[in-house]
Structures are given as structure tokens and as C-alpha cells.
């Protein structure tokens, strides 16, 4: 095994993990941009996606496609309930209080999942087989292609939605200045609700496509949520390319660090990056400094 194929393997593994981080990061960005809060329950939607799919697949014996569709729908309903019951009643609360509420919600969702589905880890069958594919001396699984494909699709849809539809533009308007947006007739409440819908749908989708690789359990959301959070911090809270780059960068650094330095430092690398970014460039690596964001 020569060095170049070893490097190729690190890069490929890094990119595929990075795509997952980016997808989870999106959920953070969308809610942050609509409401100004960071939803720390985002990881729990990733968990819900995977666990609900397994629930429908194994316990209700549904075929895979309806199981996935139902899982995303139900996770989205949970997202709506979360916004209506925990976020909206406190409309005038400070962002900090809301962020603490999201942490509470994440503990609640995790606990509920533990009580309903137990503490076991579950594996979802791969969408199209487990036979590895060889690329430049490195190997990936067909499931990785699904992850890449769905991530790219979601990125494009996102871009199109926020740039070319009235609703998407209205959501962006709320992000810049919700008061001004309400003056021109945009229903801010609906936009906030919509941001929870989109981000819980994306989060659960991410949870479903990675479940065949990483497996899933009631507490899988903590670490994945944090990694997604780091991706979006590197990307400067953007719901576009910044977060994608942030996720890929994080995945690459983790995998190269684990390969060439030591795997014991894998998580340490991620958190050191997070701290460095927060200290040095809190606005993200790929963003020009914005003066209106005070």
C-alpha cells in the first residue's frame, strides 16, 4: 500500500464525513438566519430521522421509501410542535433564553427517544448494497455516493429556494431585519415556523442517509449536532456554500489528523478549530465582515 492511495483514502473518508457535517450545519444556519437563535436541538432531529425510519421499517414493516417519507414528515411535525410550544410563546425573550430552551428541548427529545425506543444501537440497511467501489486506490461505499448526491441536491434546492422564490426571499428579509420585513407585509411568525420546518426536514434527512454507515441510537445526535455546529461556525452561519466548505474542511482535517497525527485527537482537532474560529474570525472563514450584524 503506497502513500498516495493512503492519502486518497484519507481525503475520500474526510470528504464523505464532511458532507454529513455540512448537511447538519445547514439546519443550524436556516434557523439562525430566520430567528437569530442557535438551535441546539438540531442534532436531535438527525437522531429522529434515523430512529423513526428504523421504527417504520422494522416495527411497522413498511418498505424503505414510505418509511423514509413518513420519518421525515413526523420529524418535521416534531419540529413544528417544538416551535409552536417552546419558541413562539416566548416571543419577546432574549436569544440567550431561547438558546437555553433549545438545549432543554434536545435533552427532552433524547430522553423521550430513550424511553420509546430503548438504549440499543440500530443499523439501517444500506440503500444500494455494501460492496465497496474503488476510486484512485481508495474505497468508498455506495452509501457515500447517496450522501454526496443528496447533499448536493439539498444545496441546490436551498440556493434556488432562497434566491428565486418569493417565500425564500421573504425569509431572507426576516433574517436581515424582521421589523422592516413585517412592515412590508411579511408574516414573520410564518417565516420562523417555516425555518423550523425546513431545518427539521433537512436534519432528519441527514440522519436517514447516514444511518446505514454510522448506525443510530437515541444519543447519536449530540456529537453529530456539535460537528454540524462547527461546520456552520466555520461557514459563518451561511445557508450556502460557506457551510458546505466548512463541513468538508472539518471532515478533511479530522481524517488527515487521525491518519497522520493520531486518532486520539480526532475530536480535539474539531473543537480546537471551533475555538480558533470563534476567537479569530467569529464571522466565519468565507465571509466578508458585515457591519450591520451587531
- Which residues contribute to the site for another protein (CB under 8 A)? 1, 3, 6, 9-10, 13-14, 17, 119-123, 125, 130, 132, 134, 139-141, 210, 213-215, 217, 220, 222-224, 254-256, 258-259, 262-264, 266-267
Smallest gap, in angstroms, from Cβ of residue 283 to another protein?
A: 30
Smallest gap, in angstroms, from Cβ of residue 25 to another protein?
A: 16
Residue 7 to residue 134: CA distance in whole angstroms: 14
Grid coordinates representing 168 are 425564500
Nearest to another protein of 264, 292 (CB atom): 264
Nearest to another protein of 155, 213 (CB atom): 213
Nearest to another protein of 225, 236 (CB atom): 225
Nearest to another protein of 176, 260 (CB atom): 260
Smallest gap, in angstroms, from Cβ of residue 130 to another protein?
A: 6
Task: Express the helix, strand and coil content of the chain in percent, nearest 5 each.
Answer: 75, 5, 20
Residue 98 to residue 102: CA distance in whole angstroms: 6
Smallest gap, in angstroms, from Cβ of residue 205 to another protein?
A: 17
Smallest gap, in angstroms, from Cβ of residue 63 to another protein?
A: 19
CB neighbour class for 43 (10 Å; exposed up to 12, middle 13-18, buried from 19):
buried
- Which residues, including other chains, have CB under 8 Å from residue 133's CB and lie 6 or more apart? 139, 140, 141, 142, 145
Reported as half-sphere exposure (CB side, CA atoms, 13 A), residue 201 has a value of: 14
Smallest gap, in angstroms, from Cβ of residue 159 to another protein?
A: 28
- Which residues, including other chains, have CB under 8 Å from residue 86's CB and lie 6 or more apart? 101, 102, 104, 105
Extract the runs of DSSP E, i.e. beta strands, from the chain.
Answer: 133-135, 138-140
Nearest to another protein of 267, 283 (CB atom): 267
Neighbours of 103 (CB within 10 A): 13
13-27 residues labelled b (16+ CB within 10 A) or e (exposed)? bbbbbbbbbbbbbbb
Nearest to another protein of 32, 122 (CB atom): 122
Amino acid at each position: 500500500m503506497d502513500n498516495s492511495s493512503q492519502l486518497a483514502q484519507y481525503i475520500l473518508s474526510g470528504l464523505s464525513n464532511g458532507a454529513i457535517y455540512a448537511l447538519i450545519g445547514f439546519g443550524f444556519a436556516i434557523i439562525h438566519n430566520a430567528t437569530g437563535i442557535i438551535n441546539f436541538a438540531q442534532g436531535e432531529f438527525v437522531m429522529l430521522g434515523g430512529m423513526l425510519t428504523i421504527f417504520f421499517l422494522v416495527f411497522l414493516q413498511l418498505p424503505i421509501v414510505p418509511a423514509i417519507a413518513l420519518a421525515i414528515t413526523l420529524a418535521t411535525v416534531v419540529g413544528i410542535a417544538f416551535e409552536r410550544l417552546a419558541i413562539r410563546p416566548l416571543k419577546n425573550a432574549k436569544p440567550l433564553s431561547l438558546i437555553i430552551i433549545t438545549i432543554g428541548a434536545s435533552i427532552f427529545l433524547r430522553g423521550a427517544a430513550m424511553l420509546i425506543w430503548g438504549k440499543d444501537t440500530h443499523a439501517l440497511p444500506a440503500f444500494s448494497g455494501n460492496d465497496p467501489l474503488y476510486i484512485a486506490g481508495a474505497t468508498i461505499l455506495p452509501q457515500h455516493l447517496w450522501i454526496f448526491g443528496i447533499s448536493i441536491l439539498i444545496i441546490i434546492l436551498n440556493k434556488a429556494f432562497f434566491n428565486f422564490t418569493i417565500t425564500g426571499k421573504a425569509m431572507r428579509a426576516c433574517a436581515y431585519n424582521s421589523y422592516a420585513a413585517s412592515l412590508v407585509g411579511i408574516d414573520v411568525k410564518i417565516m420562523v415556523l417555516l425555518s423550523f420546518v425546513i431545518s427539521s426536514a433537512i436534519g432528519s434527512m441527514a440522519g436517514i442517509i447516514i444511518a446505514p454507515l454510522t448506525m443510530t441510537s437515541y444519543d447519536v445526535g449530540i456529537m453529530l449536532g456539535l460537528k454540524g455546529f462547527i461546520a456552520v461556525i466555520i461557514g459563518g452561519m451561511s445557508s450556502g456554500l460557506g457551510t458546505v466548505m466548512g463541513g468538508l474542511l472539518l471532515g478533511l482535517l479530522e481524517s488527515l489528523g487521525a491518519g497522520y497525527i493520531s486518532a486520539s485527537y480526532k475530536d480535539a482537532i474539531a473543537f480546537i478549530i471551533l475555538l480558533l474560529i470563534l476567537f479569530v474570525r467569529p464571522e466565519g472563514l468565507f465571509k466578508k465582515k458585515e457591519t450591520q450584524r451587531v
